[in-house]
Chains A and B, each alone.
Chain A
Amino acid sequence: MLKNPAILYDPLLCTGCRGCQVACKQWNGLQGESSGWFEGPSYTNPKWISANTWLLLQMHEETILDGKLVWAFTQRRCHHCTDPTCVSLCPAEPKAATRNEYGVVSIDPALCLGCGTCVENCPFGAPKLSEEYAIARKCTMCMDRQKVGKKPACVTTCPSGATLFGEREELVRIGRARVRKHKKGILYGLREGGGSSVLYVLPYGREYEGFPENPQSGIGVIGSLHRETRPALGGISGAGAVVLGSVALGLTKLAERKDKIRREEME
């Protein structure tokens, strides 16, 4: 068992094979979602993370970068924040959502009330209510595998090295070196979420990925994770939801947002 296990995802090494999505489901015994069509952008399916899809490989295409077609891939999953909203807001006694000594955030199915507070407030939309079990479920960073010396399933299966597993310190070093090559590059998760255990190389910046600037603590400042498309690179900046994502909202506004998100999810 590593001291501070972490995952680093680099979209520029990802080939979009979606082995991670399948391996996650296979290991965790999660059902396939048969929708009959690509519910998300490009080949993305299902549309968003669910109680049966803890890791979604999202494919955004047709973004023109310096006149070049880019087919952008990203993993949507629990970021395993250091300061996790799901833990701080969990009303169960004792808390169902906890962050363990390794920095892995999990929801204990035996303690979860199924109240949906974490579902409503996670800045990354990771925990989802399972209709079948009436509890919130999400990525466990394969703690069961880690305990027996194995890497998480998504990492083991990744053929291209886009998903790395290791000590957070080491992955931060690798990630920092990679983002340095890109003008707008940032290593997301270095500080965001209080410094999360899942790190992202974001070569084109945070807005491009639709990740919130300040995801941690209390009131969810949920990002624009549910939208169908993303703004064109270099041109339009921070349209709509992205701007919202970077601003802390009052509770009224938050309720509106939740409604909007639900509507979008229904579509």
Chain B
Amino acid sequence: MTNHWNDIANADVVMIAGSNPASNHPIAFKHILEARKRGARIITIDPRFTRSANRSDLYCKLRPGTDIAFVNGMIRYALKNKKYHEAYVKWATNASFLLSPDFKLTDGLFSGFDAEKRAYDLTSWAYQKDEAGQIRSDPTLQAPDCVFQVLKAHVARYTPETVADVCGCEMKDFLAVSEAFCETGQPGKSGTMLYAMGLTQHTVGSQNVRAWAILQTLLGNMGIAGGGINAMRGESNVQGSTDFGLLFHILPGYLQTPIAADQLLADYIKRCTPATKDPTSANWLQNYPKYIVSHLKAMYGAAATKENDFCFNWLPKRSGNHSHMAIFEDMDKGRIKGAFFFGQNPAVGGPDTNRETQALANLDWLVAVDLWQTETANFWHHPYGGPPADVRTEVFLLPASASFEKEGSISNSGRWAQWRYKAVEPLGMAESDLWILDHLVRELKRLYGTEGGRFPDPIVNLAWDYEGGEEGIDVHKVAREINGYDDTTKKQVPSFAALKDDGTTVCGNWIYAGSYTDAGNMMARRDPTDAANRIGLYPKWAWCWPVNRRIIYNRASCDPDGVPWNPDKWVVKWDPTANEGKGGWLGDVPDGPWPPQDKRPFIMRPEGVACLFATSGMVDGPLPEHYEPMESVMRNRLSSTQNNPAAVLFQVPTQNAENFEEFLEKYPIIATTHRLSEHWQAGQMTRNITLLNELVPAMFVKMSLELAERLGIKNGDSVVVSSPRGRIEARAHVTRRIQPFRVNDRSVECIALPWHFGFIGESTGAPANRLTGHWGDANTSIPEYKVFLCNVQKGGTA
């Protein structure tokens, strides 16, 4: 989240799109209800009439996978009807920047596309620069090649008629949503955007979010109270896990993983550190070398010296895509010998579970670390697969302790790191993840130390000095190293501003610098006093990255003179009399100390402004363009480029241009997957609890009254759902909460499947992911769980 949970209550309009907080974030939904109590309007856009839609003032349905068409239509509405925040757009965005004449969009393809590599060369997505290397601009926004006009031309095709045709919604509903939300473009008004996996789990997932980010920027909703682009995380600590480098392409603090071309630390730093010649750009990431060097010192301690490049070459170098699906493809090809699954259950949660379960059988060993038996730990007696005796994989199940049975921090969606204590002892032999990792690392260090190995240095020299506490590993020592310290004085650093690139500071994760200082564990603070601006920042409650800044990009909440756009809900403001007349910021921790005119507000971009047009950062287009999902009921209405041309395909989808209609005859129904309040993720934490199984007792298929009638299906009947990947049996939940869509003047049905079920536990059922495909987003490789085609028939024994 750019903002945070409590801040939702400040919004004038709450937009719920690609998410269902009433179901999936029921506790947090109180912030939305609080906003409504204060007069806010709530809008939900979703293929299903969700529990959130039920509590909304406006609801508009849309066909799964058509968010970009919808949002580009809203952007067009805002531009055409002058609903955008003009002064904000001129000051805080790249709207006025001139673009290279080489940039083009031709029939759904941006310039620079290489069909063979399925990838773009980004050279033409560039600004015009003058002789001094400064970006050329037109402050009037009139030049035809300025970002503003290019954006306007780009979205001109997304008329309300086109939106209604593509999205399968009513034009009046689209217009009502556009009007209500774009009202927040007025200075002093705010609209928040709440999303989750409904936006991201698509082959255009990143661009879905981009589209909303562009709209939010045009409306001046970034950096303000009650605004922002807010990803509601689906796990209590999933924010923490990405902050700490869970994903294959990032190290802790969103530093990049090295690639083969980074032969020396200097090569890596040159590739990763952005540069600018604009004096009004703070370009915060010019500090990149300090963060990576301090991280290397945390990794390798005394072994990391300036002379040996701080052991940079001990970090693994990435050879390609190693995202979730890629790992399973590699397993399938026998390239991976063993795997640990910490609280992960891909035999239920992974896309195309048949494919992924088969891949598991190629492992020599598998370790599942979990609270319960999982389908993954039991894949070898997969009830749908071959005989267990054929599986050679040796499987270990390590019992893990639950959140209440261990101490440590949890980072919530709003970036607040909150310290938790152990409430009860773990059951039986269960141990915390930290204990398990500590024992594993110590044993590996011992074995590599005594027996050697192919490349023992990074393991033998890994700094691992956390001994203490009742578990043998002291979680506070880990947290203190994450915060960082001065290696000479051994004092904790107060913030990342104190980090250096000469090897004299140590810091595990630069964005957490300030979380555990010499003043104590800031994450453990529980002072509920609000800040002077009374907008619910609660700056002394826990700790928030970066530097306890509760709303990021907050300098954009002010005009170029530092005066808040909304004086009633100000986030920061410039006080010229502060600091003995030198001036200073009041309120939230600002995005840098500079006077308002000195630096532009978006300090993490080398341009210093928010990018309506992305010259870098996106691999599949500088602007969002509508493409159909990989399996679709409709040929692309906007261009002849049917799918995202840069989508990551680990499996060639069966549907193509030639067999399009033939495929549709076989699989005529749209399917989407979703979660429920009553069950959780892959189900092990809830399908073993009788009281929750009472609430949702069986795997079901949500279908419309029309579809049920046509197929002669009654509520509760067993049905068979099939896709080219597999088939499942489940019971029919016949409901008006899902309705067919109008596509090409005919009615197309859509079903919805919860994905919580599997074959282990007190309550069992077929995993919906037996039907989903092995392909995903161009930028993130997230699987396209949210839309595929299927067929539904009466039958089976569910």
Chain A residues proximal to chain B, CB less than 8 Å: 13, 15-19, 21-22, 25-26, 31-38, 42-43, 45-46, 61-62, 68-71, 159-161
Interface residue? B529 (CB, 8 A): no
Q: Knowing A16-B54, A69-B49, A159-B29, say if A34 contacts B690 (CB, 8 Å).
A: yes
Q: Would you call A160 and B33 a contact (CB within 8 A)?
A: yes
Q: Would you call A45 and B55 a contact (CB within 8 A)?
A: no
User: Most B CB atoms within 10 A — which of A26, A31, A37, A62?
Assistant: A37
Smallest beta-carbon distance A191→chain B, Å: 28
**Those 6 A-B pairs whose CB atoms lie nearest each other, nearest first:** A32-B690, A62-B736, A15-B22, A32-B694, A17-B26, A71-B54
Q: Would you call A159 and B697 a contact (CB within 8 A)?
A: no
Q: Would you call B690 and A161 a contact (CB within 8 A)?
A: no
A37 touches which one: B51, B678, B716 (CB < 8 A)? B716
Q: Find chain A residues with CB under 8 A from B22 CB.
A: 15-17
User: Most A CB atoms within 10 A — which of B49, B54, B737?
Assistant: B54
B691 touches which one: A25, A37, A43 (CB < 8 A)? A25
Closest B-chain residue to A31, C-beta based? B690
Smallest beta-carbon distance A132→chain B, Å: 16
Pick 12 A–B contacts, CB within 8 A, sort by A.
A15-B22, A15-B55, A32-B691, A38-B697, A43-B695, A43-B696, A45-B696, A61-B735, A68-B59, A71-B49, A71-B54, A161-B30
Q: Find chain A residues with CB under 8 A from B737 CB.
A: 61-62, 69, 71
Q: Knowing A15-B51, A71-B49, say if A36 contacts B697 (CB, 8 Å).
A: yes
**Within the assembled complex, what's the spacing in Å between the Cα atoms of A13 and B733?**
25
**Within the assembled complex, what's the spacing in Å between the Cα atoms of A13 and B26?**
12
**Within the assembled complex, what's the spacing in Å between the Cα atoms of A115 and B694?**
28
Q: Would you call A19 and B694 a contact (CB within 8 A)?
A: no
Smallest beta-carbon distance B196→chain A, Å: 16
Q: Would you call B690 and A160 a contact (CB within 8 A)?
A: no
Closest A-chain residue to B21, C-beta based? A15
Q: Find chain A residues with CB under 8 A from B29 CB.
A: 15, 159-160
Q: Would you call A18 and B51 a contact (CB within 8 A)?
A: no
Q: Would you call B736 and A61 a contact (CB within 8 A)?
A: yes
Smallest beta-carbon distance B796→chain A, Å: 14
**Within the assembled complex, what's the spacing in Å between the Cα atoms of A37 and B731?**
8
**Within the assembled complex, what's the spacing in Å between the Cα atoms of A252 and B342?**
65
Q: Find chain A residues with CB under 8 A from B533 CB.
A: none
**Within the assembled complex, what's the spacing in Å between the Cα atoms of A126 and B7?**
41
Chain B residues proximal to chain A, CB less than 8 Å: 22-23, 26-27, 29-30, 33, 49, 51-52, 54-55, 59, 677-678, 690-698, 700, 716, 731, 733, 735-737, 763
**Within the assembled complex, what's the spacing in Å between the Cα atoms of A32 and B696?**
11
Closest B-chain residue to A72, C-beta based? B54
**Within the assembled complex, what's the spacing in Å between the Cα atoms of A43 and B677?**
11
Q: Would you call B694 and A33 a contact (CB within 8 A)?
A: yes
Q: Would you call B735 and A159 a contact (CB within 8 A)?
A: no
Smallest beta-carbon distance A66→chain B, Å: 13
Q: Would you call A35 and B695 a contact (CB within 8 A)?
A: no
**Within the assembled complex, what's the spacing in Å between the Cα atoms of A69 and B694?**
26
**Within the assembled complex, what's the spacing in Å between the Cα atoms of A33 and B611?**
54
Q: Knowing A15-B55, A18-B677, A71-B51, say if A45 contacts B27 (CB, 8 Å).
A: no
User: Most A CB atoms within 10 A — which of B30, B678, B694, B698?
Assistant: B694
Smallest beta-carbon distance B561→chain A, Å: 41
Q: Knowing A34-B697, A37-B716, A61-B735, say if A26 contacts B691 (CB, 8 Å).
A: yes
A19 touches which one: B26, B700, B733 (CB < 8 A)? B26
Q: Knowing A31-B690, A36-B698, A160-B30, say if A17 contacts B23 (CB, 8 Å).
A: yes
Q: Find chain A residues with CB under 8 A from B33 CB.
A: 13, 160-161
Q: Find chain B residues with CB under 8 A from A68 CB.
A: 59
Smallest beta-carbon distance B7→chain A, Å: 18
User: Most B CB atoms within 10 A — which of A19, A43, A161?
Assistant: A43
